[in-house]
């Protein structure tokens, strides 16, 4: 079968007119889909996946046309040029093509599975093809080559056929009819978790997710739920109910970084008229209906920009050393890198690391990085040590101000200073010493510590005293909510062995990430008037 395909392609490449070529491609597409369907055994879904890729950016969604060549999905460079505003030039003499963007260039040659990106060679899963007057590159070209010269993140999500460009928050949505009923129970999962609001309208529910767009693979329906589909807005999910449906109730919970919307739709009360859907809450139509549509975290503003991660210790300062010689400074950097990737990819927030490599860095410098970066949050990652080898588990520290410092802050806040401002009026200044900047954020940091504790204890063992308040040097100078996480005891031989594994590091990063998501929702909600 493969041989067959190749022959057809040779024919196609030989400069056949586009129309006949397309016919071949369509056939190939169908064959490929059949193979895929056979292998995956999921039938219908693959058909929809053969549609163009979708480019998702802050500007919206646009299709990226693709074709399948020799079993590989390819995209035409002229389409790439118009979608990404890059310049594509053919070099007929060299038999190659250049793609340039703001002074940076990719050079590729026909029939070679590689490209030179700013002088660095990257390999591609299949060769670059010149077909007729078009240049075709494997779709991975976008994430492997183009991303390197582009000024925004380019992420290829093969499974959901999306190309994410820039800081776009694009959680994946899974829908399911759990029980046809009545009452019908349906669920919508949003991962990674984002703030979700549910609104009722006559005959339907509107679920809004705090995201730029949704990775929404397929619509479902069943029972009293006619259809769960993507809404008109990119961050909207619409749940349409059948005529026989009563007043639905929805609850939103977040666990393991998944926001779970549970929807229950009872049958309409038979004695009542059908007009009830227009009335959001008739007084006694639904005796066991709860109070209002349950509380949901609401995030309208997007005031969070930056998170600072501080990998503890570094350079000469190795931190704690485990019995097998593993050093704290390596672990903190490793976990920090994983956490950064999660935040950048899933939340689209800027992440600043106080150190990117193995270097010594003073605590003041670390605090300065966070303060100068105007970060919304500082998380300092550490690994603990004890003289008691049995001691194990994660601990979270937040700042405790001693009485004296608290007094200094109280006086400064109460008295402050007023300066004449430009254009009249006065500007009030709080004269809090820079190294006590945390004083403004003690309450928030305490919430942060509790959220961290809750998320960590779901995933990793905790110490007997998981949250502590102490005069921590780094936290004191941080002018934002801040906490220090000791993820485990490196002095405990079992924990040292676990700390070596990728699995544990990912789990820890995941737990901290979940806490950040929850804390952000809380923080933005509490700041919304």
Partner 1 sequence: MSMRVWWLAFIGGLAALVLIAISIARMYAPPRAVPAETPVASAPVTPKETAHITATLFFGAPDGQSLAPVRRDVPLAETVVDQGRQILTAQLAETPPAPFVSVIPMGTTLRALYVTDKGDAFVDLSAEVVRAHPGGSLNELLTVYAIVNAVAANLPAVRRVQILVDGKEADTIAGHVDLRRPLTRNDSLVRETDEK
The structure tokens 């101000």 sit at 401
Residue 102's alpha-carbon distances to 58, 59, 412, 444, in angstroms, are 20, 20, 50, 42
Interaction between residue 325 and partner 1 (CB under 8 A): no
Nearer to partner 1, 308 or 476 (CB): 476
111-56-262 Cα angle (round to 5): 130
| Cα–Cα dist 78/84, whole Å | 10
Nearest distance, CB of residue 392 and partner 1, angstroms = 10
Contacts for 529 with CB less than 8 Å, ≥ 6 apart: none
Nearest distance, CB of residue 382 and partner 1, angstroms = 6
User: Could you give phi then psi for residue 250, rounded to 5 degrees?
Assistant: -135, 140
Interaction between residue 471 and partner 1 (CB under 8 A): yes
Residue 104 pairs in a beta bridge with 101
Cis before 232 (ω within 30): no
**Which of 303, 363, 276 lies closest to 523, judged by CA?**
303
Q: Which of 337, 350, 468, 500 binds partner 1 (CB under 8 A)?
A: 468
Contacts for 128 with CB less than 8 Å, ≥ 6 apart: 97, 108, 109, 110, 111, 112, 113, 115, 135, 136, 137, 138, 141
Q: Which of 73, 328, 444, 496 binds partner 1 (CB under 8 A)?
A: 328
Nearer to partner 1, 62 or 468 (CB): 468
Number of residues near partner 1 (by CB under 8 A): 41
CB–CB of 378/477 below 8 Å?
Answer: no
Nearer to partner 1, 438 or 523 (CB): 438
Mask 342-381, x = binds partner 1 (CB under 8 A)? --------------------xxx-----------------
Nearer to partner 1, 209 or 436 (CB): 436
Q: Which of 13, 22, 317, 525 binds partner 1 (CB under 8 A)?
A: 317
Q: Which of 127, 248, 277, 319 binds partner 1 (CB under 8 A)?
A: 319
Structural tokens at position 125: 């899963």
Candidate segments 14-22, 256-264, 279-287, 457-465, binder of partner 1 by CB under 8 A? 457-465
Interaction between residue 455 and partner 1 (CB under 8 A): no
| Cα–Cα dist 50/3, whole Å | 22
Nearest distance, CB of residue 379 and partner 1, angstroms = 14
* Site residues (CB under 8 A) for partner 1, limited to 394-433: 395, 397, 402-405
Q: Which residues are near partner 1 by CB under 8 A?
A: 312-313, 317, 319-321, 328, 362-364, 382-388, 390-391, 395, 397, 402-405, 435, 463-465, 468, 470-474, 476, 484, 486, 489-491
């Amino acid at each position: 079968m493969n041989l067959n395909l190749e022959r057809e392609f040779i024919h196609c490449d030989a400069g056949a007119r586009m129309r006949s070529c397309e016919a071949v491609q369509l056939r190939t597409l169908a064959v490929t889909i059949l193979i895929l369907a056979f292998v995956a055994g999921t039938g219908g879904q693959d058909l929809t996946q053969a549609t163009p890729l979708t480019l998702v950016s802050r500007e919206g969604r646009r299709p990226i046309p693709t074709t399948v060549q020799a079993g590989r999905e390819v995209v035409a460079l002229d389409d790439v040029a118009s979608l990404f505003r890059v310049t594509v030039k053919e070099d007929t003499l060299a038999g190659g093509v250049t793609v340039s963007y703001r002074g940076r260039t990719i050079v590729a040659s026909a029939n070679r599975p590689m490209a030179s990106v700013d002088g660095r060679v990257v390999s591609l899963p299949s060769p670059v093809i010149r077909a007729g007057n078009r240049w075709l590159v494997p779709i991975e070209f976008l994430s492997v080559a183009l991303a390197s010269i582009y000024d925004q993140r380019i992420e290829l999500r093969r499974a959901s056929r999306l190309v994410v460009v820039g800081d776009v928050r694009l959680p994946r949505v899974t829908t399911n009819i759990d029980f046809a009923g009545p009452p019908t129970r349906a669920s919508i999962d949003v991962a990674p978790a984002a703030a979700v609001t549910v609104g009722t309208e006559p005959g339907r529910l509107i679920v809004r997710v705090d995201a730029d767009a949704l990775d929404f693979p397929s619509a479902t329906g069943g029972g009293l739920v006619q259809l769960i589909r993507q809404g008109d807005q990119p961050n909207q999910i619409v749940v349409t109910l059948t005529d026989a449906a009563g007043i639905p109730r929805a609850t939103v919970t977040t666990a393991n970084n998944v926001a779970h919307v549970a929807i229950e739709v009872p049958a309409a009360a038979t004695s009542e008229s059908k007009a009830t859907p227009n009335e959001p809450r008739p007084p006694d139509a639904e005796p066991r209906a709860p109070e209002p549509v349950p509380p949901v975290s609401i995030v309208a503003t997007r005031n969070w920009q930056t998170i600072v991660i501080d990998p503890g210790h570094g350079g000469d300062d190795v931190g704690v050393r485990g019995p097998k010689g593993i050093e704290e400074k390596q672990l903190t950097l490793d976990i920090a890198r994983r956490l950064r990737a999660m935040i950048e990819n899933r939340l689209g927030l800027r992440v600043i690391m106080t150190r990117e490599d193995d270097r010594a860095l003073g605590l003041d410098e670390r605090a300065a990085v966070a303060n100068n970066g105007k970060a919304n949050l500082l998380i300092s990652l550490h690994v603990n040590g004890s003289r008691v080898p049995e001691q194990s588990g994660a601990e979270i520290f937040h700042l405790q101000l001693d009485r004296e410092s608290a007094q200094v802050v109280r006086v400064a806040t109460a008295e402050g200073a007023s300066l004449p401002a430009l254009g009249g009026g006065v500007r009030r200044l709080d004269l809090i010493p820079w190294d006590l900047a945390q004083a403004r954020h003690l309450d928030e940091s305490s919430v942060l510590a509790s959220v961290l504790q809750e998320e960590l204890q779901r995933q990793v063992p905790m110490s007997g005293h998981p949250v502590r308040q102490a005069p921590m040097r780094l936290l004191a100078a941080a002018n934002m909510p801040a906490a220090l996480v000791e993820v485990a005891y490196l002095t405990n031989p079992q924990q040292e062995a676990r700390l070596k594994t990728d699995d544990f590091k990912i789990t820890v990063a995941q737990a901290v990430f979940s806490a950040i998501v929850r804390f952000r929702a809380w923080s933005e909600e509490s700041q919304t008037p």
